[in-house]
Amino acid sequence: MQLTQKDDKKEVEEYFNNTGFERWNKIYSEDAEVNNVQKDIRTGHNQTIQRILAWIDADGDAQYKTFCDAGCGVGSLAIPLTQRGAIVSASDISAAMVKEARERADVQLGDKAMNVSFAVSDLENLSGSYDTVFCIDVMIHYPDEKLKEMISHLSNCAERRMIITFAPYTILLGMLKSFGSLFPGPSKATRAYLHSESYVEGILKELGWQVKRRDFVKSKFYFSTILEAVKQA
Ligand code: SAM
């Protein structure tokens, strides 16, 4: 049976409020016991976050900037961005993720905790205007045919810059099996959507964005292409 985007989203929401939350909360917690595959994904994801933060630090202008972290998970990026002085609006389709992110922010940020807000929202219901919109490791839940609509919506919320990541299409075959054990659905392997870099860049171009920096993080079980796009001059 072909799942519609609505079915897909409902299932993703349910997954990340239940077993997916348990699983990914552990992966995104340095001290939690995880298996070797999950450890590898933790390391890969951490590299993605560090590389994005290195770009932000190289620009040195996070202070007082408005940042939107769409699909924030447990706050792995939103929290360090807030630590750097930004005003961050973070959101996620999963209420469990949002609750965990809020708790982590309160523990880790001290006085700066008030500079980050967390809301339960799916990407398509985000509103507002932000200097930068981040969307990290979320596009795996969107099929190619829904990607343009999704990036277009994020683009409407971004004034200057978008930083997005996605699992590249090229390693599809090698990855299917591993993703199959990590994501929900009766046909697990088909539920992780990979995207070609040229396809994503084409969408960004059409929407008036130009890729300024790019990177690629690769480990045994984790692959992520990172693009920073700025408004075309
Ligand atoms: N961006 C975070 C990070 O890198 O630490 C979390 C990545 S996690 C693999 C994917 C997250 O995307 C989950 O927290 C999930 O609930 C969220 N998500 C999936 N589909 C979403 C949607 N349509 N709208 C908002 N969040 C979504």
Q: How many residues are there in the chain?
A: 233
Q: Quick check: CB of 104 below 6 Å from ligand 1?
A: no
Output the CA 233–ligand 1 centroid distance in Å.
31
How many whole angstroms from 45 Cα to the centroid of ligand 1?
13
Pocket test for ligand 1, best of 10, 11, 79, 93 (most atoms within 8 A of CB): 93
Q: What is the pTM of this model?
A: 0.93
ipTM over cut 0.95: yes
pLDDT in tens, the chain (233 residues): 445 666 788 999 999 999 999 999 999 999 999 999 999 999 999 999 999 999 999 999 899 999 999 999 999 999 999 999 999 999 999 999 999 999 999 999 999 999 999 999 999 999 999 999 999 999 999 999 999 999 999 999 999 999 999 999 875 545 554 555 555 554 443 378 999 999 999 999 999 999 999 999 999 999 999 999 999 87
Structural domains in the chain plus CATH codes: 5-231 (3.40.50.150)
Q: Give residues with Cβ within 8 angstroms of 111, minimum separation 6.
A: none
Q: Considering only CA atoms, which of 99, 101, 183 is closest in space to residue 141?
A: 183
Atom of ligand 1 at shortest range from CA of 74? 5
